[in-house]
A and B are shown apart, each in its own frame.
Chain A
Amino acid sequence: MITCEEFFLEFGDYLENRVSPEVRKELELHVSQCRVCQVLYDSSRKTVKIVTESGSFDLPKSVSDPIIDRVMARLRAGPT
């Protein structure tokens, strides 16, 4: 079985689902037998899910519209 260090080397691609079936098999085997890496993988996957679905840094139209309106008014007024 691969070591935790080897697991960690592949970890980024594993999270991105970008490993070959052969590599995936090795990583899954490791995760099934190493509690620390199992927690790391599970919580990292959940982190990505939470972050991507959080709707963070959405700029509501109620905020962006006045900014754009101010800029356009300035441009229409011409060079100052």
Chain B
Amino acid sequence: MSFLSEVLLDDKFGPFVAFQEALGFVPNLLRAQTLLPRVIEAQAKLESAVRLQEGAISRVQKERILLIVAAERQDTYCVAAGNRVLSSFGVSDQQIDDLLNKHGHENLSAADLACLQFCLKLSRHAPSVHSEDIQALRAYGFQDESILETVFATALAAYRGILSVGLGPEPDFGTRKTTSRRVDPPRGVACHAPLPDPHGAAQKGPYLPAPYLSSKTFSIVQKSHGFVPNFFRSQTLRPDLLEAELEAVDRILLPEDVLTRTQKECILLAVSAANLNSYCVAMHCNLLRGLGMSAEEGDQVAVDYHLSTLSEADKALLDFAVKLGVRFTEFSRQDILNLQTFGFSEEQILECEVVVALNNFANALQMGLGIEPDFEPPLIPAQNKVHLSAATSRPIERGLVTPSLTEVLDPDARLVAEAQGGKLEAFEELVRRHSQLIYRALVAILGDPVEAQDAMQDALLSAFKHITGFQGRSKFSTWLVSIARNTAFQRLRGRKEAESLDGGECEEDREFRPRQVRAWQDNPEQCYSKSEIRQLVERGISGLPAKYRAVVMLRDIEQLSTDEVSRQLGLSVPTVKVRLLRGRLMLREWLSPHFTTRATS
């Protein structure tokens, strides 16, 4: 009996049949998840693609990886299961003991040893994996597909390991006698390799080539995320593995019947942050923004969710998830009982555990493949990054990753403090410094330069009135822009034909397709004077619908990054990208008659 209730599923339940056929038994790790059959289906699909068939590396090589990572995690359930499977492939007890114990790798080739060394490093200290590790594998003759499978097998070991700890399944077989439960790394491998600076330039990825696959392949994430992250695009070398992973996302993360999407994204964010995975942190911050959470709150969940405005129950859920995902050696059945006192059902606890498992799977893949960020990392002050990297070698405790969003380095900080103390000269200096930004924020919404100049006075007075309420949770310039935006919105509300900045994409937008297809001049800007061009552009931008105008103004006129635009406007990055493209295409339509070959000849 495992930690959670089990229900009886038909013996013909597809995943059970698949395991029975492939391994000769149905693992208790799967039976422990019968409260939610869809998560068993997700895991079975992953295991089937990653583990249960011959690939670029053999099944024995894959099982060795699973076993050595399980042993390293002191996971008796997975070690026992791995023993049994390797035995069924004809690997002798002696060879398995050799694998699990130090100084006993005579039977392994140098390439196999290098592979296991890599897997242990990825499992233990994922942030320290970099391109040289991949080069080392190549030097031993590993092809790109073999390396990809090796990374996937290690990630799968992490997935299984989390569930083994969190569910406490009965062993499938009696534990076979081994001289030690714990395995030492292969001979000659430093146990704690020095960590490179995670913010240095060494880790440039992606490490493996990723052939083009049509966006249709990614329709599941396109629909749920609003875009296709590099995370998925970097795995196209093996469409079968990618497909299994996308299906896991579909069955685990997207349903809303147990935990909500927001709860799951918070789990992914908090555990990724504790795993020091800045890629996944940035991704989940953005997805949370798309689900309606403010950028500041998302950052706060990443840095220390205890100080966020989440409910006490949700904070307890994240405590549970982080403990299971990062400090798993301390995890016990008591943690489940504690979480139940906050009102969480067994189904919700199971789903939380599976989300943590999938998270650690994804974190391992990202680090192992060196996947490049889609977004800028959230605002985490430099001094906290130092804490984060130092924390890799020891368990992360509450309070270790101290939140100090108020300490975000802001060049305006000193003047702001003085202005908050009532010093008018400091306030004047601040508004002169940012007058252009304020004005453009007003134009972006109002669309009319003259009205924007008129509104500027109101915005500045409002900023002074509220400056003592500014708490430094964002840059001062960001706050100032939000004041300007509110001022502009108040004016908009006074207009009869109020335009919405937040309106969803209507059918007409989705169908937007370029109409002007006549070629442009080689150097179109040379056909008009600078002031004529400025007037053309200003008229074009002013004529855009508000939601596109705001994005184009900030990205192309103010030249903020896409991520900064999303923060300023409180939109998700994918939404910003869609609106930016449409805004630009509308401008192209507007400018085309002036710049095509016929117009200017």
Contact = CB atoms under 8 A, between A and B. Distances in A.
Nearest to A21: B209
A25 B212 contact: yes
B432 interface: yes
A26 to B, nearest CB: 4
A62 to B, nearest CB: 12
A57 B435 contact: no
B456 interface: yes
3 nearest CB pairs, A to B: A12-B581, A9-B215, A26-B212
Provide the main secondary structure of the chain B interface.
Answer: helix
Contacts of A46: 520, 524-525, 595
A23 B212 contact: yes
B553 A57 contact: yes
A68 B524 contact: no
Interface of A: 2, 6, 8-13, 15-16, 20, 22-23, 25-26, 36, 39-40, 42-44, 46-59, 63-64, 67-68, 70-72, 74-76
Contacts of B216: 6
Given A10-B215, A40-B517, A51-B556, A59 B435 contact: yes
Contacts of A75: 424, 427, 461, 464
Contact of A22 (B209, B530, B581): B209
Nearest to A54: B537
Given A26-B212, A36-B517, A20 B439 contact: no
Contacts of B557: 51-52, 56-57
Given A44-B584, A46-B524, A51 B431 contact: no
Contacts of A20: 206, 210, 230, 233-234
B541 interface: yes
Contacts of B214: 2, 6, 9
A30 B479 CA distance: 44
B96 to A, nearest CB: 40
Contacts of B436: 58-59, 64
A57 B212 contact: no
13 contacts: A6-B215, A22-B212, A39-B519, A43-B520, A44-B584, A49-B525, A54-B537, A55-B530, A56-B538, A64-B436, A67-B457, A71-B464, A75-B464
B135 interface: no
B460 interface: yes
Nearest to B206: A20
Contacts of B595: 43, 46, 50
A70 B454 CA distance: 12
Nearest to A9: B215
Contacts of A56: 534, 537-538, 541, 557
Given A56-B534, A57-B443, 12 more contacts: A6-B214, A6-B215, A6-B216, A11-B581, A22-B210, A43-B592, A46-B524, A47-B591, A49-B525, A51-B541, A64-B435, A71-B457
B473 interface: no
Nearest to B581: A12
B461 A40 contact: no
A33 to B, nearest CB: 15
B424 A76 contact: yes
B424 A72 contact: yes
A39 to B, nearest CB: 5
A47 B584 contact: yes
A40 B214 CA distance: 20
Nearest to B454: A67
Task: Name which of A42, A51, A68 has the most chain B CB atoms within 10 A of its CB.
Answer: A51
Contacts of B236: 22
Contacts of A13: 577
B490 to A, nearest CB: 17
A12 B577 contact: yes
Contacts of B541: 51, 56-57
Contacts of B524: 46, 50
Contacts of A6: 214-216
A73 B151 CA distance: 65
A54 B534 contact: yes
Contact of B587 (A25, A47, A68, A76): A47
Given A20-B210, A47-B584, A57-B449, A40 B514 contact: yes
B421 interface: no
B538 A57 contact: yes
Given A15-B581, A47-B591, A75-B424, A55 B534 contact: yes
